[in-house]
Amino acid sequence: MTRKIVALLVVVLFAAAFVAGCGGSSNTGGQSSGGQKFINIATGGTAGTYFPLGGALAEIWNKNIPGANATAQSTGASVANVNLLKDGKAEVIFVQNDIAYYAYNGTEMFKNNKYEDIRGLATLYPETIQIVTTANTGIKSIHDLKGKRVAVGAAGSGTEANARQILEAAGITYNDIQVQYLSFAEAANNLKDGNVDVAFVTAGFPTAAIRDIAAQHKIVLIPLDDKTVENLISKYPFYTKTVIPANTYSGQTEDVTAVSVKSMLAVSSKLDEELAYQMLKTMYENRDRLIAAHEQSGKQILPETGKEGMSIPLHPGAEKYFKEIGK
């Protein structure tokens, strides 16, 4: 009997040790028994902006947060990242604020896949919806798109939602245009070849692919009138009015009124509050590393604008940080 009791105690102790060794769940920062905080950062494609900034964040957090073990992962960007966060496969994600809004509210591509536990860490920099055509089309305003071949983005993409909502605000439906569901790379090539008339592009400006088109053709950026902008923002408050300055692209001699969504960092509501606070604090204290990773976008990542365009509830750790700096 005594031997059986001893054997049972050994099994119980072994099981307890095994459970302790497994560490916490990923959405609480992945903290292990050794005090390590595993932080998987879901970014985007390796050629985009999210990936280098994610690598810079990993470096910042590993150097400045005790026990941090952060890595940046290349992904399919915003929509894919929300699903990675929801499934506990990422602790921090890059995402557009409109996509985060859709996920939290269960609309658009998240209509049957609502994710109410998503929380905002900070907004970063604007991603502008640029509506580009070539001069030979004669298109000068959003209302001229009726009857035209319009590349609205890949089906189910954030760009496609942007295009549809902007057209709606201008009183145009997909029945009024010849819809082309093309990724921007496809749209750019088709625009150069004359196979489409207009392309919607959601990206920080200047965008390399638009510069490439401008090197071969005289381009026109289609401005949005005040009424369209007002209609859009009143219905979809995650948009902000933006001016694309003259000479951003070759041949563009005047400022162009556009709208932007914001790139942002999002986390799960389950993420440890102190860890979220430290992530935000150290990010802003080491902006030079973000600028080194991507100068144009890094310069726009500022604590004073970190809540602008926030489309979902803030994480408590982020609330603590912004309250501390008076924002």
Whether residue 94 contacts residue 44, with contact meaning beta carbons closer than 8 Å, is answered with yes
Q: In sequence order, which residues have a C-beta less than 8 Å from that of residue 22 and are 6 or more positions away?
A: none
Q: Which residues of 135-150 are buried (b: 16+ CB within 10 A; e: fewer)?
A: eebebeebeebeebbb
What is the Cα–Cα distance from 209 to 188, expressed in whole angstroms?
A: 7
Task: Please tell me the predicted confidence (pLDDT) of residue 15.
Answer: 42
**DSSP one-letter code for 309:** T
What is the Cα–Cα distance from 279 to 316, expressed in whole angstroms?
A: 12
| Domain edges within the chain | 24-124+263-324, 127-262
Reading the chain (327 residues) residue by residue, the pLDDT tens digits are: 455 544 444 444 444 433 333 333 445 555 543 578 999 999 988 777 899 999 999 999 999 999 999 999 999 889 999 999 999 999 999 999 999 999 999 998 999 999 999 999 999 999 999 999 999 999 999 999 999 999 998 888 888 999 999 999 999 999 999 999 998 788 889 999 999 999 999 888 888 788 889 999 999 999 999 999 999 999 998 998 999 999 999 999 999 999 999 999 999 999 999 999 999 999 999 999 999 999 889 999 999 999 998 999 999 999 999 999 999
Task: Please tell me the predicted confidence (pLDDT) of residue 226.
Answer: 96
Whether residue 297 contacts residue 126, with contact meaning beta carbons closer than 8 Å, is answered with no
Task: Please tell me the predicted confidence (pLDDT) of residue 27.
Answer: 54
The stretches of 23-149 forming alpha helices (DSSP H) are 50-64, 78-86, 97-105
Task: Please tell me the predicted confidence (pLDDT) of residue 34.
Answer: 55
Whether residue 84 contacts residue 278, with contact meaning beta carbons closer than 8 Å, is answered with no
Whether residue 159 contacts residue 151, with contact meaning beta carbons closer than 8 Å, is answered with no
Q: In sequence order, which residues have a C-beta less than 8 Å from that of residue 230 and are 6 or more positions away?
A: none
Closest of 144, 127, 151, 132 to residue 263, by C-alpha: 127
What is the Cα–Cα distance from 310 to 121, expressed in whole angstroms?
A: 9
Architecture of domain 24-124+263-324: 3-Layer(aba) Sandwich (3.40)
What is the Cα–Cα distance from 250 to 196, expressed in whole angstroms?
A: 21
- CATH code, 127-262: 3.40.190.10
Q: State the sign of the Cα–Cα–Cα–Cα dihedral 234, 176, 105, 316.
A: negative
| β-pair partners for 31 | 37
Task: Please tell me the predicted confidence (pLDDT) of residue 18.
Answer: 37
Kindly report the pTM of this predicted structure.
0.79
**C-alpha angle 302-313-85 in degrees, rounded to nearest 5:** 90
